[in-house]
């Protein structure tokens, strides 16, 4: 992953992050001022882990809402 002559191609842009791939194959995930550089084989497992964490937080929030609604009844 020599980046001396890399050209980046944008794969995705979101509200808080940008994902780019270099011509050398490295993937760059930028969140704010922090960029993580990884192999393309790392991106999918990382995305899966982040999605799982987001799903867990969403379910936790829904359960907390439901529990507090039931307590008010």
Provide, for the chain, the percentages of residues in helix, strand and coil under a 3-state DSSP scheme, each rounded to the nearest 5: 45, 30, 25
The radius of gyration computed from the CA coordinates of the chain, to the nearest angstrom, equals: 18
Q: Say whether pTM exceeds 0.85.
A: no
Where in the chain are the domains? Answer: 8-72
- φ, ψ for residue 32 (rounded to 5)? 60, -125
pLDDT of residue 21: 97
Per-residue pLDDT of the chain (73 residues; tens, 9 = 90+): 555 688 999 999 999 999 999 999 999 999 999 999 999 999 999 999 999 999 999 999 888 877 766 666 6
């Amino acid at each position: 992953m020599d980046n001396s002559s890399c050209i980046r191609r944008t794969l995705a842009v979101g509200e808080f992050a940008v994902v780019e791939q270099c011509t050398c194959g490295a993937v760059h995930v930028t969140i704010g001022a922090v960029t993580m550089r990884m192999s393309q084989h790392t991106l999918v497992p990382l995305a899966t882990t982040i999605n799982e964490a987001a799903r867990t937080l969403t379910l936790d929030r829904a359960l907390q809402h439901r529990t507090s609604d039931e307590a008010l009844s």
